[in-house]
Amino acid sequence: MFNQYNLEEIRDRARASFIGLAVGDALGATVEFMTSTEIAAQYGTFRDIIGGGWLRLKPGLVTDDTEMALCIARAIIRSQTWSMDAVAENFAAWLKGRPVDCGDTCRKGIRRYMVHGTLEAPPNQWDAGNGAAMRLLPAALFSLPDGQRMNKYILEQAHITHNNPVSDAACICLGSMIHLALMGASKSRLRREADGLVARFPTFAFEPYRGLATGYVVDTMQTVFHWFFRGKNFEDCLVGTVNQGADADTTGAICGMLAGAYYGMEGIPGRWIKKMDKSVIAEIEQVTDKLIAACPLGGF
């Protein structure tokens, strides 16, 4: 079904998706919690990886979005299978290491695991943040192209911290769009997937765009959808997204993983990759290749 050329293209898109996540995280972290008006007043259009921001990061450093995704990737590779115990243990070790940032819902869920050993948070109407969506990429890569397996992995990792139907719906839609983009689907096909989410959950409607980019997963996905479908290239998509401000590291990370899967490595500006922490990029390249080699598609 898949010849060698296609598999190489998929590896390229997978690398671009994970690197795109990290690039979007590092770019957006500078303007996180700023308003779009404040960004415009200070930078005009913000488009360079310069660090700083409220976390006072060095240029090219990443936050919890990339770090939690790497926790999942490492767990899969070390276990050579999908192991929720391994994922949760990596989250716990990461939190104990005093990361530069961690969202409240993620922190609460990880601490629950550390104290009680529970791998699933209780359902909570208030846990519709974007923390489960921002880190799901390794689950999508490891399941490619099996949609049922993807749904299982994505929801299990989500429910360690976020057990909410709105978060679940966003995660499943995002994972499906990443699978489609990795396999070379058109933007019109990806748009049908987003429209399907809106049909099931009208709260995700992004036309007209409301301009909200908060940590609420609905605002996050509306922002990502708006700028991804408007953008003419990777840079367009990402610059538009992070210039909305608010939870810009996470909207940037999610848009970066989606746009990276769609545009591939050649679409990511070299000036951004050069600014990134080299050890992060090296690990991302290594784990991405291993995840694709181990996924159902990798066996063809």
The number of residues in the chain equals 300
State the average pLDDT over residues 241-269. 98
Q: Is the pTM for the entire model greater than 0.85?
A: yes
Task: For 27-78, write each residue's pLDDT tens digit.
Answer: 999 999 999 999 999 999 999 999 999 999 999 999 999 999 999 999 999 9
pLDDT confidence band for 1 (50 / 70 / 90):
very low
Helix then strand count (H, E) for the chain reads 14, 0
Identify the pLDDT of residue 299: 61
Write the CB contacts of 277 (distance below 8 Å, at least 6 apart in sequence).
Answer: 26, 60, 61, 62
Neighbouring-strand partners of residue 35: 245
Q: How much of the chain, in percent, has pLDDT values that exceed 70?
A: 98
How far, in Å, are 64, 87, 124 from residue 98 at the CA level?
Answer: 11, 17, 26
Q: Count Cβ neighbours within 10 Å for each residue of 28-45 and write b for 16 or more, e otherwise.
A: bbbbbebebeebeeeeee
Identify the pLDDT of residue 297: 83
- Mean pLDDT (the chain, rounded): 96
**Whether pLDDT at 119 is above 60:** yes
Identify the pLDDT of residue 6: 87
**Whether pLDDT at 2 is above 50:** no
CB 208 within 8 A of CB 242: no
Q: What are the phi and psi torsion angles at 247 (to 5°)?
A: -85, 60
Task: For 147-194, write each residue's pLDDT tens digit.
Answer: 999 999 999 999 999 999 999 999 999 999 999 999 999 999 999 999
**Whether pLDDT at 3 is above 50:** no
| Spatial distance between the Cα atoms of 121 and 172, rounded to a whole number of angstroms | 18
Identify the pLDDT of residue 260: 98
Choice among 121-125, 138-142, 153-157 with the minimum mean pLDDT: 121-125
